[in-house]
Amino acid sequence: MKDGQIHEAVRLLNEAVSAWRSPAVTIVSQREGDPYKVLVSCILSLRTQDRTTGPASERIFALADTPEKMVGLAPETIEKAIYPVGFYRTKAVQILDISRTLIEKYGGKVPDEIDELLKFKGVGRKTANLVVTLGFGKPGICVDTHVHRICNRWGYVVTSTPEETEFTLRRKLPRQYWLAINDLLVTFGQNQCTPLSPRCSSCPLAHLCDRVGVKKSR
């Protein structure tokens, strides 16, 4: 994909993903508009499919929807509420630790800066960017495995890690697409441009894609 083709790519992505369900964390952000809930949902979503993340988020927020309420729960209670998300025991501890830190150092409010969010245990660049973009509507580029894979598959970037992809996109992706690119590519990656055997024959972006690394497709 040539740099100037990104505008057509985003237009086509918007048309394509309208037929599919938004990522679970995006749904939480749209429904709740609460950075704390976005942060907790992000923690739950790591290595967990959306069909598990969404219901788990609903169950835990029914018990505690603020840091103050969360620290009043026993780890076992949180574990039971979020099960079967991946690493649910570890995540229960992380959620409690983050909630305590928010109360003790940030007045119970989630910070809106990536560098501050990265200070929290269990929060990496993907989560920090999602909280900043979905929780606060501030510019950021969240790069997960879908964004990393598809941008390289297109030939739009040539990178080895999601972090490299993030910083490359910060240099070349038009700023107007920063907030939308994660939602678009996560949804597209789950339904069309899958990790193994992507659906190239029916892809609306096939004429733009270099198909880097694609050995088998449908």
pLDDT tens-digit series, residues 60-86: 999 999 999 999 999 999 999 999 999
CATH 1.10.340.30 domain extents, the chain: 24-136
- What is the reported pTM? 0.88
**What fold characterizes domain 24-136?**
Endonuclease III; domain 1 (1.10.340)
pLDDT given at position 59: 97
HEC states along the chain?
Answer: CCHHHHHHHHHHHHHHHCCCCCCHHHHHHHHHCCHHHHHHHHHHHCCCCHHHHHHHHHHHHHHCCCHHHHCCCCHHHHHHHHCCCCCHHHHHHHHHHHHHHHHHHHCCCCCCCHHHHCCCCCCCHHHHHHHHHHHHCCCCCCCCHHHHHHHHHHCCCCCCCHHHHHHHHHHHCCHHHHHHHHHHHHHHHHHCCCCCCCCHHHCCCHHHCCCCCCCCCC
CATH 1.10.1670.10 domain extents, the chain: 3-21+141-208
**In percent, how much of the chain has pLDDT > 70?**
100
pLDDT band at residue 32, thresholds of 50, 70 and 90?
confident
pLDDT given at position 31: 84
**Rounded Cα distance, 214 and 63, in Å:** 45
CATH class for the region spanning 3-21+141-208: mainly alpha
